[in-house]
Amino acid sequence: MGYADRSRPPSEWPGLETSGLTTLTDDIYYGWLEHEANPIFWHWCVALEGVPEDRKVHEGCWVAAGASAHRLVSREPLHLEPSLLWRCCGLHGFVRNGVWAPA
């Protein structure tokens, strides 16, 4: 079983135990890295489904992306502005009051 299996989300990856990893949806997680004011996000990228493992940067369809250009309105509950858009697959939504809301 590898990271390609969605039943092994980022929250179960070794090394991320201390990053405060939080589930937004089944497809979106975020956590905190040292020296980074804003969280880093992982999303299950549908654009990568069907792509061979050896042609991907990361294992499985999980894609990591920072949000350093966003304004951190609140850390707890998480609130970022403006909306988050991942151009790889078009996943787009707001994180407000700790909740993902599709845009």
The site for Zn ion (CB under 5 A) is made up of: 45, 86, 88-89
| Least Cβ distance, residue 32 to Zn ion (angstroms) | 21
| Least Cβ distance, residue 85 to Zn ion (angstroms) | 10
- 71-74 and 79-86 as β-strands: parallel, antiparallel, unpaired? antiparallel
Q: What's the helix, strand, coil split of the chain in %, to 5?
A: 10, 40, 50
Smaller CB distance to Zn ion: residue 45 or 95?
Answer: 45
| Least Cβ distance, residue 46 to Zn ion (angstroms) | 7
